[in-house]
Structure 1
Amino acid sequence: MAISGRTRLYAVLGDPIAQAKAPSLLNPLFDRLGVDAVLVPVHAPASRLDEVVAGLKAMANLDGLLVTVPHKLPMCAHADRLSDTAALLGSTNALRREPDGRWFADNFDGTGFVRGLVAGNHQCAGRAVALFGAGGAGLAVAAALLAVGAARITVADPDVERLADLLTRLRSRWPGRVTAASGPPAPDTTIAVNASPLGLGPDDPLPFDPADLPPATLVADIIMNPAETRLLRTATALGLPTHPGIHMLTHQIPLYQEFFQLPGWKAAQSPHRTSRAAPPAPP
Structure 2
Amino acid sequence: MTGHPHGTPITGTTRLYAVLGDPIAQVQAPTLMNPLFARLGIDAVLVPVHARPRNLEHIVRGLQRVDNLDGMFVTVPHKVAVRRLADRCGTTVDVVGSANVLRREADGGWLAENFDGSGFVAGLVGAGHEPLGKQVALVGAGGAGSAIAAALLTAGVARLSVYDSDTSKLGALVARLDAHWPGRTVALTGPRLSDVDIAVNATPLGLRADDPLPFSPDSLPPGSVVADIIMRPRETRLLRAAAARGHRVHHGIHMLEGQLGSYQAFFGLK
CA distance in 2, matches of 1:138, 1:204: 18
The alpha-carbon deviation at position 246 of structure 1 amounts to 0.3
What amino acid sits opposite 1:36 in the alignment? D
CA distance in 2, matches of 1:214, 1:121: 18
Superposition pairs of residues 32-51 of structure 1, within 5 angstroms: 32-51=39-58
Q: Deviations over 1:79-109 (max 9, x none)?
A: 1111100111111001100111010111000
The alpha-carbon deviation at position 174 of structure 1 amounts to 0.7
Q: Deviations over 1:213-253 (max 9, x none)?
A: 11111000000000010000000000111000000001111
- 3-state SS of 2:197 partner: strand
Contact 2:117 2:149 in 1 (8 A): yes
State the match for 1:204 in structure 2: 211
State the match for 2:201 in structure 1: 194
- 3-state SS of 1:130 partner: strand
State the match for 1:133 in structure 2: 140
Structure 1 residue ranges (4+ consecutive) displaced by more than 3 angstroms after TM superposition: none
CA distance in 1, matches of 2:111, 2:54: 23
Contact 2:205 2:214 in 1 (8 A): yes
State the match for 1:185 in structure 2: 193
Contact 2:193 2:217 in 1 (8 A): no
State the match for 2:15 in structure 1: 8
State the match for 2:100 in structure 1: 93
The alpha-carbon deviation at position 181 of structure 1 amounts to 1.0
Contact 2:24 2:48 in 1 (8 A): yes
CA distance in 1, matches of 2:32, 2:81: 25
Contact 2:138 2:199 in 1 (8 A): yes
What amino acid sits opposite 2:65 in the alignment? A
- The alignment-based identity, stated in percent, is 58
Ranges in structure 1 where 5+ consecutive residues have no aligned partner: 264-283
- 3-state SS of 2:198 partner: strand
State the match for 1:143 in structure 2: 150
Question: Alpha carbon RMSD of aligned pairs, Å?
Answer: 0.8
Q: Deviations over 1:90-138 (max 9, x none)?
A: 1100110011101011100000000011111112111111110000111
State the match for 1:247 in structure 2: 254
- 3-state SS of 1:11 partner: strand
The alpha-carbon deviation at position 182 of structure 1 amounts to 3.5
The alpha-carbon deviation at position 161 of structure 1 amounts to 1.3
TM-score normalised over the length of structure 2:
0.96
Ranges in structure 2 where 5+ consecutive residues have no aligned partner: 1-7
The alpha-carbon deviation at position 186 of structure 1 amounts to 4.0
- Which of the residues 121, 130, 139 maps onto 1:123? 130
TM-score normalised over the length of structure 1:
0.91
What amino acid sits opposite 1:196 in the alignment? T
Contact 2:193 2:216 in 1 (8 A): no
State the match for 2:4 in structure 1: none
CA distance in 2, matches of 1:39, 1:124: 32
Q: Deviations over 1:161-199 (max 9, x none)?
A: 111111111110011101111364342x10000000000
Superposition pairs of residues 163-242 of structure 1, within 5 angstroms: 163-182=170-189, 184-187=192-195, 189-242=196-249
Contact 2:194 2:219 in 1 (8 A): no
Identify which of structures 1 and 2 has the higher relative contact order when contacts are C-alpha pairs closer than 8 Å and 6+ apart: 1
CA distance in 2, matches of 1:249, 1:182: 30
- 3-state SS of 1:153 partner: strand
- 3-state SS of 2:180 partner: coil
Contact 2:193 2:215 in 1 (8 A): no
